[in-house]
Chains A and B, each alone.
Chain A
Amino acid sequence: MRNRFADVFYELGKDDERLSIIVADISPAGSIAKFREEFPARFINTGVSEQIMIGMAAGMAQRGLRPFAYTIATFTLYRPFEMVRDDLCYQNLPVTIVGIGGGVTYSTLGATHHAQEDVAIASAIPNMSVIAPCDPNETEVVTRWCATQERGPVYLRLGKAGEPDLTADAPDPFVFGKLRCIRGGDDVAIISYGTIMKIAVGVADQFEAKGESAAIYCCHTVKPLDVEGIRDVLARYKKVIVIEECAPNGSLAMRVQQIGFQDRATCEIDIFTLQDEFIHCYGSHEDILAAHGLSISEISSKLGLS
């Protein structure tokens, strides 16, 4: 995912001199290293200084450039939060802040490196768009969108490396702000986004094994949320499941429940999110998700599939 982002950024940056990347002491992955070599002036390392990373991005955008701020998700959003809110969102500037390793991707580093509330926090800020692609292919189109958009600030939540391709056969293309069906189905709908999508796919497979047809929708754009799209899904399926790598408060799951309540939806809504707690657990990304109750087996069990 990280490498696909880098490839696209490099390709676009060759032709668009407005594209720049500001990192805060994070080693440039993949093609970003190439970008740095070829366009050193447009690669800026602020060092371990995230507030100036965001402040500079704002100032550069005000002078007509299209900067991306890039570091580990916690440091791109939490440490410089007021700069994100005031400099980028209040001034509504077209800056993309890239959160690498969103959610609990940095699974061995402890909660200091877990952006487990990132999507909820970023979504709470006016003008901010929040996008979390689910695989490298979707990352490619999302990056392209971010690099060419003019509407305002974007929090782009990425994983790290090794994510499987899940959208090669998606019936729907990526459209900013639109729920994307990536696998058709009739009985059950699973809504998810980001790298946890692979668990959503695993759960859908469990439904299929039981003879139930499960659709998968990627809610890559968590904000602005495709409320109409969610509404349609709630009306169309007898059961809707949200699987999400974000703490519950302010999550997509809460929004789906809210829309269901407002619409008096008759479908069942089941939600699976990170827990509202710091879990002192170290291991693989899957291990940490499982510690939060987010594994194919745990979710399947709660859904009565096993």
Chain B
Amino acid sequence: MSDSTGLLRNSFDSDAARMRCKQYRRRILDISQNVTALHVAPAFSCVEITDYLYNTLMRRDADGKFEDVFIMSKGHGCMIQYVILEENGYITSEDIDAYCTPGGILGAHPDYETPGIHASTGSLGHGLGIATGQAYGEKLKGTDIGIYCVLSDGECQEGSTWEAIMMAGNLKLDNLVAFLDNNDFSGLERMSEGHQAFYPLVEKAEAFGWEAVEIDGHDEEAMQAAFDGRKGGKPFMVICKTVKGKGVSYMEHVPIWHYRSPNKEEYQQALDEILGADR
């Protein structure tokens, strides 16, 4: 399957996607019990986005390795990326166990050349610039490799992100796709309360030469429809309305869960809610 840009896609099964996302969230919750601080909520807001990227958009070679490229520009969301890379054999459960400990290879932000990691991020406003260079590089090489990037809404306050948006638009990089994880939370306050001029987003992206759509970022069928409807010829921005901490009632929209790990009771409640959802 492919959209009008020629970027191929894998087959899509919404029930399978929902099951995967439950298991990813469960795995992240499990990991959270071994470390005092884990970016659970920022990862939960982009579980469906990252699942759709890896399991539907990104193609694999004969060995099952991803051919297309993914950059988690909101580096603090990387736990979902680690879990998917673990599932695909890029990193091991021992690597996950050694998260943020001496001798381990995984930190709280993705590190370039860790297996499956295509850019060091963590400082916001870097990922899309790198992705733009990668997309242009692949154009120069004449390949059909797609470059995928997940941005936070907060990092779209960085001027560097807009330099990248403008340049990718200038270069008409139709092999570049950005998902904006629009969870409405920056460090200090809700974006929608403190930064009203940040909106509207679709119009801004379009004005900068991108094709853009706005969807529910926890609905992979909506993502599928967005890609089905893609016109092509331009970089594509999928602005995803998301919920920080999605799936766990006490985490949703509560800033402390940006960085806190749940205690034992909270863990059990979270697990019940995640696994019990949509039954």
Query: Across the two chains, which residue of chain B brings its CB closest to A45?
Result: B170
Bound Cα distance from A62 to B136, whole angstroms: 11
Verify B134–A60 contact, CB threshold 8 A.
yes
Q: Does B120 contact A (CB under 8 A)?
A: yes
* B129–A64 touching, CB < 8 Å: no
Tell me which residues across on chain A come within 8 A of B120, comparing CB atoms. 86-87, 90-91
Q: Which of B192-231 contact A (CB under 8 A)?
A: none
Contact status A46-B163, CB under 8 Å: yes
- CB-nearest residue of chain B relative to A62? B134
Are A62 and B140 closer than 8 Å at their CB atoms? Answer: no
Q: How far is the CB of B224 from chain A (nearest CB, A)?
A: 27
In the assembled complex, A8 has its CB within 8 A of some CB on chain B: no
Question: For residue B135, which residues in chain A have a CB less than 8 angstroms away from its CB?
Answer: 59
- Report the separation of the CA atoms of residues A90 and B110 in the bound assembly, to the nearest whole angstrom: 12
**In the complex the two chains form, what is the Cα distance from A82 to B167 in whole Å?**
19
| A32 at interface, CB cutoff 8 A | no
Point out the residues of chain A lying under 8 angstroms from B137, CB to CB.
59-60, 62-65
Contacts of B118 in A (CB 8 A): 62
In the complex, per-residue mask of A56-85: 1 if CB is within 8 Å of any chain B CB, else 0: 111111111101000000000000001100
Tell me the complex Cα distance, A63–B69, Å: 10
Among B118, B128, B132, B135, the most chain A Cβ lie within 10 Å of the Cβ of B132
Q: Using a CB-CB cutoff of 8 Å, which residues 82-140 of chain A contact chain B?
A: 82-83, 86-87, 90-91
Tell me if A285 is interfacial: C-beta within 8 Å of chain B.
Answer: no
Which A residues lie within 8 Å of B160 (CB)? Answer: 51-52, 55, 83
Q: Report the separation of the CA atoms of residues A44 and B123 in the bound assembly, to the nearest whole angstrom.
A: 25
Are B123 and A59 in touch, CB under 8 angstroms?
no
Q: Is B8 an interface residue (CB 8 A)?
A: no
Inter-chain contacts of B141 with A (CB < 8 A): 63-65
Known contacts A20-B140, A91-B112; A55/B166 CB under 8 A: no
Tell which of A42, A57, A86, A90 touches B133, judged by Cβ atoms closer than 8 Å: A57
A149 contacts the other chain (Cβ, under 8 Å)?
no
A218 within 8 A of B: no
Interface flag for A209 (CB, 8 Å): no
Nearest chain A residue, comparing its CB with the CB of B122: A86
**Which of B113, B129, B134 makes the CB contact (< 8 A) with A51?**
B129
What distance in Å separates the Cβ of B124 from its nearest Cβ neighbour in chain A? 10
CB < 8 Å neighbour of A65 from B130, B140, B166: B140
Q: How far is the CA of A58 from the CA of B166 in the complex (A)?
A: 17
Q: For the complex, is B119 an interface residue (Cβ under 8 Å from A)?
A: yes
Is the beta-carbon distance between A56 and B132 smaller than 8 angstroms?
yes
Q: Quick one: which of B135-194 are within 8 Å of A by CB?
A: 135-141, 159-160, 163-164, 166-167, 171
Q: Is the CB of B163 within 8 A of A51?
A: yes
- Which A residues are in CB contact (< 8 Å) with B159? 51
Given A51-B129, A64-B141, check contact A44 B136 (CB 8 Å): yes
Let me know if A189 is at the binding interface, CB within 8 A: no
B113 contacts across to A, CB distance below 8 A: 91
Cα-based distance from A56 to B166 in the complex (angstroms) = 12
Taking A62-B130, A90-B120 as contacts, is the C-beta distance between A41 and B163 under 8 angstroms? no
- A49-B163, A49-B167, A62-B118 as given contacts; A55 in contact with B129, CB under 8 Å: yes
- Is the C-beta of A252 less than 8 angstroms from some C-beta in chain B? no
Q: Are A55 and B140 in contact (CB under 8 A)?
A: no
**Smallest distance from the beta carbon of B5 to chain A beta carbons, Å?**
18
Contact partners of A56 in chain B: CB under 8 A: 129-130, 132-133, 136, 167
- Considering the chains assembled together, what is the distance between the CA atoms of A300 and B220 in angstroms? 74
The docked-state distance in angstroms from the alpha carbon of A55 to that of B140 is 16
Interface centre among A42, A57, A60, A64 (most CB of B within 10 A): A60
Which chain A residue has the least Cβ–Cβ distance from B139?
Answer: A41
Q: Is A6 an interface residue (CB 8 A)?
A: no
User: Residue of A at shortest CB range from B137?
Assistant: A63
Residue of A nearest to B133 (CB): A59
Chain A residue at smallest Cβ distance from B112? A91
Asked if B126 and A87 make an inter-chain contact with CB atoms under 8 angstroms apart, the answer reads yes
A154 at the interface (CB under 8 A from B): no
Q: How far is the CB of B210 from chain A (nearest CB, A)?
A: 15
Shortest beta-carbon distance from A100 to chain B in Å: 21
Q: Which residues of the partner chain B approach A63 to less than 8 Å between Cβ atoms? A: 133-134, 137-138, 141
B49 contacts partner chain A, Cβ-Cβ < 8 Å: no
> Which B residues are in CB contact (< 8 Å) with A86?
120, 123, 126
Assess the B126–A59 pair: CB atoms within 8 A: no
Is A60 a contact of B136 with CB atoms below 8 Å? yes
The 10 closest A-B pairs by CB, nearest first: A55-B129, A59-B133, A63-B137, A56-B133, A59-B134, A52-B163, A51-B160, A60-B137, A59-B130, A49-B163
Listed by A's residue number, 28 A-B pairs whose Cβ atoms lie within 8 Å are: A41-B139, A41-B140, A51-B129, A51-B159, A51-B160, A52-B164, A52-B166, A54-B129, A55-B129, A55-B160, A56-B129, A56-B130, A56-B136, A58-B119, A58-B133, A59-B129, A60-B133, A62-B112, A62-B118, A62-B119, A62-B134, A62-B137, A63-B138, A64-B137, A64-B141, A82-B123, A82-B126, A87-B126
Q: Besides the contacts A58-B119, A59-B137, what 10 more A-B pairs have beta carbons closer than 8 Å?
A: A17-B140, A44-B136, A51-B125, A51-B129, A54-B129, A56-B130, A59-B135, A62-B137, A87-B120, A90-B120
